[in-house]
Amino acid sequence: MEDLSLHILDIAENAIRAKANLIIIEIEENDELVLRIKDNGEGMDAETLKMVTDPFYTTKEGKKAGLGVSLISMAAEQAGGTFQIESEPGVGTELIATFKTDHPDIKPMGDILSTLEALVIANPSIRFIFHYKKGEEIYSFDSRE
Ligand SMILES: Nc1ncnc2c1ncn2[C@@H]1O[C@H](COP(=O)(O)OP(=O)(O)OP(=O)(O)O)[C@@H](O)[C@H]1O
Ligand SMILES: [Mg+2]
């Protein structure tokens, strides 16, 4: 996968599949890029959570691999960053990936606003909140407003 925005799309799709009606995406960029994606979907129990970064773990029927989470965690690690995912059944899931912005292997952000637009248009019943911050530059978006 070329761009971080495509990883974000993948993770948002997981949240949609988990029946979230609120998905919050936050990006804060300084010497580190911190990406936080939080949903209020059905969540995962501790057992499932342990397997979620395994590329062979999926609950999609007829599929042998579940790559979304493992790929974003690899992308973070390859860019000198970290990956963390927390989840609670019935409450939701939060994923935090960090990337070193000066790392040669950090992927470009890509067209995050188009990605977001596509998500909002395809999922009118889901509230998407997006926060972006880089130095003085702040951008916020709420699909309910
Ligand atoms: N936000 C989430 N809420 C609830 N369950 C999740 C969430 N994200 C992932 N999961 C669970 O973890 C599994 C693995 O997720 P992952 O994105 O790695 O693969 P996938 O979605 O199954 O397949 P792919 O992303 O390759 O299409 C999912 O099948 C789902 O059961
Ligand atoms: Mg997925």
* Ligand 1 within 6 A of CB of 14: yes
DSSP letters, 36-95, are EEEE-SS---HHHHHHTT-TT---STT-S---HHHHHHHHHHHTT--EEEEEETTTEEEE
Please give the chain's pLDDT, 145 residues, in tens. 789 999 999 999 999 999 999 999 999 999 999 999 999 999 999 999 999 999 999 999 999 999 999 999 999 999 999 999 999 999 999 999 999 999 999 999 999 999 999 999 999 999 999 999 999 999 999 999 8
* Ligand 1 within 6 A of CB of 39: yes
Fold entry, domain 4-142: Heat Shock Protein 90 (3.30.565)
> How much is the pLDDT for 20?
98
Closest atom of ligand 1 to 69 CA is 18
Residue nearest to atom 9 of ligand 1 (CA): 14
Domain extent listing, the chain: 4-142
Please report which ligand is nearest the Cα atom of 57: 1
> How much is the pLDDT for 1?
79
> Distance (Å, rounded) from C-alpha 2 to C-alpha 23?
23
Phi and psi torsions of 94, nearest 5° = -135, 130
